[in-house]
């Protein structure tokens, strides 16, 4: 419960020379109720010793008001003058100083925060989580920095515009990626870089363009994304460490890697042609492997024959001759026989134009 002084709202009433009282017109007549603030009947105005109420009103009106006299000091009506006024000002100033020192000396640090302390503008230390005490401001100041928050930067910002980059084979790729980073050193983060977000974005843009310039378009849009992400993260961290920025790059993720929108239809045709060429090359390689395997088998067979030939030349020569003639003559319709003492060959197969029905046998003893 708070207690307030009740005479402050009535201060304008006390300062009014001619108050309009509900007790009447303030005269000494008998018409109406008598004004309690007027001089009683039978007493001269100004005569006698002033009452405590008159003394209070005189002090409340101040030296410039009616009946204030020439003594006292202070320009605010209603406040004590002289030594009492100076004492009140000193007490009020002391309270303000005490409150200011209390509010600027006690620093609660959350678990995810660190406090960077400066002593007259110079680095003094880093506050850990908990309740910490320092000298009051402006002698010592504390800047709280969140070291556990993961910041994310999208390229291009907003995700709607194109982000064109030149590849190593003189092609253009539209690349969209995201960089996640946090703060690992609050001191360097607070003192070494002025615009942390701008520095991270500029570093990421520079590192990604440098890495994409060393790869081909096919690597950028197909299976080379993981390698590009890892190399870009390493280059970013190296640059930021050289700046002593206190920033740690968590990851780099490529969200989109496509040709420019103006040539994407033609690029699809080129990709289809490249895929067909790759397929034809695979077929040719398969045929090459088959022919090579067949030739190697024949060469091994020849080596085997040569080994047998060295052991028995005459027998091997005759055997090879017979096998060769058998393979050649197996496809012919002619039969070659020796003419000496051989019954003439009778063609048993039917010739064109002849009947396939054999003649009727002649029965013995018939008519």
pLDDT in tens, 270-281: 888 988 999 999
CA 81 to chain centre: 65
Per-residue pLDDT band at 85 (split at 50, 70, 90): confident
* Secondary structure (DSSP) of 125-164: EEEPSEEEE-PPTTTEEEEEEESS--EEEEESTTS-S--E
The rounded mean pLDDT for the chain is: 78
When pLDDT is averaged across residues 10-19 and rounded to a whole number, the result is 50
- pLDDT, tens digit (0-9, with 9 covering 90-100), for 157-195: 887 788 999 999 988 999 999 999 999 999 999 989 889
Q: In the chain, what percentage of residues exceed pLDDT 90?
A: 32
Alpha helices by DSSP H, 168-263: 186-191, 196-212, 217-221, 225-243
Question: From start to end of the chain, where are the E strands?
Answer: 106-109, 113-119, 122-127, 130-133, 140-146, 151-155, 164-166, 172-183, 247-258
How large is the average pLDDT for residues 224-233? 94
pLDDT tens digits, 86-140: 788 888 888 888 888 888 888 889 888 999 999 888 888 889 898 888 888 888 8
Which domains are delineated in the chain? 106-146 (no CATH), 151-259 (3.30.479.30), 266-324 (no CATH)
Give 3-state DSSP helix, strand, coil % of the chain, rounded to 5: 40, 15, 40
């Amino acid at each position: 419960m708070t207690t307030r002084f009740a005479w402050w709202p009535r201060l304008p009433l006390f300062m009014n020379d001619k108050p309009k009282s509900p007790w009447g017109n303030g005269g000494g007549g008998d018409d109406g109720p008598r004004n309690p603030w007027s001089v009683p009947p039978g007493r001269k105005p100004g005569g006698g010793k002033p009452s405590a109420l008159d003394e209070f009103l005189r002090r409340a009106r101040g030296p410039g008001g009616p009946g204030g006299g020439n003594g006292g000091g202070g320009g605010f009506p209603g406040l004590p003058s002289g030594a009492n006024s100076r004492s009140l000002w000193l007490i009020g100033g002391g309270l303000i100083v005490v409150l200011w020192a209390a509010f600027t000396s006690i620093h609660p640090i959350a678990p995810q925060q660190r406090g960077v302390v400066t002593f007259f503008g110079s680095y003094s230390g880093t506050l850990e989580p908990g309740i910490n005490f320092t000298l009051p401001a402006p002698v010592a100041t504390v800047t709280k920095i969140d070291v556990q928050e993961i910041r994310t930067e999208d390229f291009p910002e907003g995700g709607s515009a194109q982000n064109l980059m030149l590849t190593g084979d003189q092609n253009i790729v539209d690349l969209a990626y995201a960089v996640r980073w946090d703060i690992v050193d609050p001191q360097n983060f607070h003192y070494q870089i002025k615009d942390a977000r701008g520095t991270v974005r500029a570093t990421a843009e520079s590192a990604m363009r440098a890495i994409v310039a060393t790869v081909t378009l096919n690597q950028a849009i197909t299976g080379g994304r993981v390698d590009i992400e890892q190399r870009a993260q390493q280059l970013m961290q190296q640059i930021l460490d050289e700046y002593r920025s206190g920033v740690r790059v968590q990851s780099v993720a490529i969200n989109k890697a496509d040709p420019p929108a103006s040539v994407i239809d033609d690029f699809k045709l080129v990709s289809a042609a490249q895929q067909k060429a790759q397929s034809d090359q695979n077929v040719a390689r398969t045929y090459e492997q088959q022919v090579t395997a067949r030739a190697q088998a024949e060469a091994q067979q020849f080596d085997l024959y040569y080994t047998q030939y060295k052991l028995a030349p005459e027998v091997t020569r005759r055997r090879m001759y017979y096998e060769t003639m058998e393979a050649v003559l197996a496809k012919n319709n002619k039969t070659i026989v020796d003419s000496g003492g051989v019954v003439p060959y009778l063609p048993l197969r039917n010739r064109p134009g002849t009947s396939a029905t054999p003649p009727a046998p002649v029965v013995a003893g018939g008519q």
